[in-house]
Amino acid sequence: MTTAAGALRAPGTPAGHDDRYKWVALFNTTLGVLLVSINESILIIALPDIFRGIRLDPLVPSNFFYLLWILLGFMLATAVLVVTLGRIGDIYGRVRMYNLGFAIFTVFSILLSVDWLHGAAAGAFIVGMRLGQGVGGAFLFANSPAILTDAFPSNQRGMALGINNIVGVAGMFIGLVVGGVLAPVDWRLVFIVSAPFGILGTAWAYLKLRDNGIRTPARIDWWGNVLFAVGLTLVLVGITYGIEPYGTSAMGWTSPKVLTEISSGVALLVAFSVVEMKVDAPMFRMSLFRIRAFLAGNVAALLAAIGRGGLMFMFVIWLQGIWLPLHGYSFSVTPFWAGIYMLPMTGGFLIAGPISGILSDRYGARPFATAGMVAAALTFVGFDFLPINFSYLPFAALMLVNGLAMGLFASPNRAAVMNSLPPDQRGAGAGMTGVFQNSAMVLSMGIFFTLIISGVASVLPRSLYHGLVAQGVSAKTAAAVSHLPPITSLFSALLGYDPIKMILGSATLATLPAHSAAVLSGRKFFPTLIATPFSDGLTLAFTFGAVACALAAVASLLRGSHYVHAGAHAAAPGDAARQTHVAAAPDAKPAPVRTGAAQASPDRVEAMEEAPAATGPAEAGLAPAGSAEAGSARAGQ
């Protein structure tokens, strides 16, 4: 018998899976996800060199647009498009869409490295190319989990998706180090470094990957796609601009522009939800949320991403703006060393992810994912007890445990979500999961920055004024500087600039006595000044993170026991025309996997062996075409 791609399958081999191909799929999709996740964070450390290279001051108010969009545009494009491209993969082929995404990502990586412009024009060019790179990333993110789910049997998906997911999450921390190493040499290396791997991955995917999934011909849901893309874009853009200052306010949450963007976006998303319940082939399958494992897994992932997303920025600012200067590092080198000092968290991800994925294949996702979120919540509490000028060993230990906890959660949860999906909805389901996680990252950054700025804004102006006056700065100048938005100081620290030198200016420093100028531009003045207000903001942020992770643990606990959608045992795609998989009925839990003559409980499926190649639907554990069960399943779709 041959698969849809024409590959031979030996008798008795599980339909749609072979040992050699599944490893090719794992390594290629993991390479794709790793490249995308590295590029999500690589600019955090590299931004100072990029802005110096294109001769653009990002802290000038008129240039703040470029700072935000170069940093966040990639994430926004990925978040908005991932669910659409997952659904398109279900219709036209997941491997085809994945391979196209690899090519798009590679082309825009190359274009980013050949920017010959300077100033605002260069900034606009990079923003545009980053958005294009994000489109390619969305193709890869949307279809990778579905390709792996098609390639691996259900009793190995936790391991496969665990490796893929954890390498992706770890890539965000690896990007910090890579950016810190390459950007000082040449800022263009930050972009071109992805190109050789992108070319390799594109060619490899084109030659070796094949569509093992069930393709579902359907019309594209244009109304749903437009409403979702515009609505989510408005919400995420509103959140992004909400952390900008507005008038005399430290943040822009009261800005009419921000309020209009968020309210309009929410209204469009509500309209989108109504449309999706009425069209024949919706982009966003609302019926999938009736699958308990899918709903609980996505809620848990959303809350975990909200708790984790802004954490990296808080640690970067904490290290770069306070801890590293107090320990003798100049501001210019703090971006690189911040990435180095955060490596224990990456190590935790890489250790726990694959192990928990393998164990969840046998015992189910609930114990590991729930325990991971409980442990993550406790680490947030532990971070809150650290002094602002901590000893590194307990900080590193907490980072390691936090990485282990997040890894313990992420792999089993992703595998459980994908196992709960009908085979013909894996692309759409993976895209829905991706949009929750990527949107949560942007939302989390908005929340964490808001909490930090709220803590800083109430104390920093007074502290800054008195500190400057004490060093001989005129009261008028000190008053003007102290009323600058706190985000200016925070982003100065994030970019590796000396915040006092940036906001006070070299000309003012030159008029002061040498001793005062040395104190103000030294490594201790700003960190000491901001330590107390920043600590207050961190307390709010860590409390929020702990609550979000605790709620994620509750959601994970409610997912039910080990569950695999019966359709996950479908025979080869080439046989799909004569078979009907069992899907979740709209008013009930999904049908359980059958093992022999006995039927397992809907919430507990212990027997997860892949069905052998079958001569008919019943032999593969599938509802016979035309049966009442199959008819109900089709109606639910």
- Rounded to the nearest integer, the mean pLDDT of the chain is 78
Identify the band that residue 530 occupies on the pLDDT scale cut at 50, 70 and 90: confident
Does 384 lie in the same domain as 269?
no
Within-domain flag for 603: yes
Q: 15: left (phi > 0), else alpha (psi -120 to 50), else beta?
A: beta
171/184 Cα distance (integer angstroms): 20
Q: Among 263, 278, 293, which residue terminates a domain?
A: 278
Does 290 lie in the same domain as 437?
yes
The confidence score (pLDDT) of residue 606 equals 33
> Residue 13 pLDDT > 60, yes or no?
no
Q: Which two tokens stand for residue 61?
A: 């108010």
422/424 Cα distance (integer angstroms): 6
pLDDT one-digit tens code per residue, 411-466: 888 888 888 888 777 777 777 777 787 778 778 888 888 888 877 777 778 888 88
Listed in order, strand segments (DSSP E) in 348-484 are none
pLDDT one-digit tens code per residue, 478-518: 888 887 777 777 777 777 777 777 777 777 787 888 888 88
CATH number at residue 386: 1.20.1250.20
541/349 Cα distance (integer angstroms): 22
Within-domain flag for 179: yes
Number of independent structural domains in the chain? 3
pLDDT one-digit tens code per residue, 121-130: 999 999 999 9
pLDDT one-digit tens code per residue, 110-160: 999 887 888 889 999 999 999 999 999 989 988 888 888 888 887 787 788
DSSP lists the bridge partners of residue 249 as 246
Within-domain flag for 576: no
Whether residue 157 contacts residue 569, with contact meaning beta carbons closer than 8 Å, is answered with no
Mean pLDDT value of segment 248-273: 89
> Residue 604 pLDDT > 90, yes or no?
no
Does 252 lie in the same domain as 391?
no
The confidence score (pLDDT) of residue 609 equals 33
Within-domain flag for 508: no
The confidence score (pLDDT) of residue 259 equals 92
The confidence score (pLDDT) of residue 519 equals 85
Does 268 lie in the same domain as 147?
no
Identify the band that residue 611 occupies on the pLDDT scale cut at 50, 70 and 90: very low
Does 419 lie in the same domain as 315?
yes
Q: Which pairing describes strands 598-599 and 594-595: parallel, antiparallel, or unpaired?
A: antiparallel
> Residue 382 pLDDT > 70, yes or no?
yes
Which secondary structure element, helix H or strand E, spans residue 145, and what is its range? helix 119-151
Q: Which two tokens stand for residue 225?
A: 């796609």
Whether residue 207 contacts residue 95, with contact meaning beta carbons closer than 8 Å, is answered with no
The confidence score (pLDDT) of residue 18 equals 62
| Greatest CA separation for the chain | 90
Does 402 lie in the same domain as 379?
yes
Does 269 lie in the same domain as 160?
no
Identify the band that residue 375 occupies on the pLDDT scale cut at 50, 70 and 90: very high
pLDDT one-digit tens code per residue, 537-577: 888 889 989 999 999 999 999 887 766 766 544 433 333 33
The confidence score (pLDDT) of residue 360 equals 83
414/249 Cα distance (integer angstroms): 41
The confidence score (pLDDT) of residue 99 equals 92
133/101 Cα distance (integer angstroms): 9
The confidence score (pLDDT) of residue 387 equals 92
> Residue 329 pLDDT > 60, yes or no?
yes
pLDDT one-digit tens code per residue, 316-328: 888 888 899 899 8
Identify the band that residue 402 occupies on the pLDDT scale cut at 50, 70 and 90: very high
pLDDT one-digit tens code per residue, 587-600: 334 444 433 333 33
Whether residue 582 contacts residue 538, with contact meaning beta carbons closer than 8 Å, is answered with no
626/490 Cα distance (integer angstroms): 63
Within-domain flag for 514: no
| Residue 582 φ then ψ, to 5° | -85, 120
pLDDT one-digit tens code per residue, 64-87: 788 878 877 888 888 888 878 887
> Residue 621 pLDDT > 50, yes or no?
no
| Residue 446 φ then ψ, to 5° | -60, -40
Within-domain flag for 530: no
C-alpha distance across the termini of the chain, in Å? 29
Does 361 lie in the same domain as 241?
no
Q: Among 254, 278, 302, which residue terminates a domain?
A: 278
Within-domain flag for 528: no
Q: Dihedral sign, CA of 591, 592, 594, 598?
A: negative
Q: 10: left (phi > 0), else alpha (psi -120 to 50), else beta?
A: beta
Within-domain flag for 509: no
Does 40 lie in the same domain as 129?
yes
> Residue 10 pLDDT > 70, yes or no?
no
303/410 Cα distance (integer angstroms): 12
Does 302 lie in the same domain as 166?
yes
Segments forming the whole domain that contains residue 588:
581-636
Does 244 lie in the same domain as 171?
no
The confidence score (pLDDT) of residue 563 equals 67
Q: Among 257, 278, 299, which residue terminates a domain?
A: 278
Does 52 lie in the same domain as 122?
yes
The confidence score (pLDDT) of residue 65 equals 80
